[in-house]
Amino acid sequence: MLVCEAFLILFSPYRLLKALGAPKSARIYWAGGQPLGGKEALQPLINEFQNLYSKEDLALPEELEPFANKASLMAAIDYIVSEKSDVFMPSHGGNMGHAIQVL
């Protein structure tokens, strides 16, 4: 599994993944919250890597609703899904970003 910081000063996630040799078929999990600029900000990445998902893409709203105010449980969901992904990208350094750094 590749681990990438989502907002790098010198590289966009798209250029970073290309430089690391991630295949176009890579399953990329965007963990955490919405990116700065919303989903539109990820459009160049989505155009190149079509298997880009967040927990909101994979679950119905009513499935996530019981966990909405429980950051640790949302981070646990992120962790479980990121383990099954080829690439994990935290949207920020929150609970999931910190947890993956420990590994």
d(CA 11, CA 17): 9
What is the mean predicted confidence (pLDDT) over 2-21? Answer: 63
Q: What is the model's pLDDT at position 60?
A: 95
Q: Whole-prediction pTM value?
A: 0.70
User: What are 61-84's pLDDT values in tens digits?
Assistant: 999 999 989 988 888 888 888 888
Determine contact, residues 32/23, Cβ cutoff 8 Å: no
What is the mean predicted confidence (pLDDT) over 80-101? Answer: 72
Largest Cα separation within the chain, whole Å, is 39
What is the mean predicted confidence (pLDDT) over 22-34? Answer: 86
Higher pLDDT, 84 or 42: 84
Q: Which residues 6+ apart lie within 8 Å of 51 measured at CB?
A: 25, 26, 27, 28
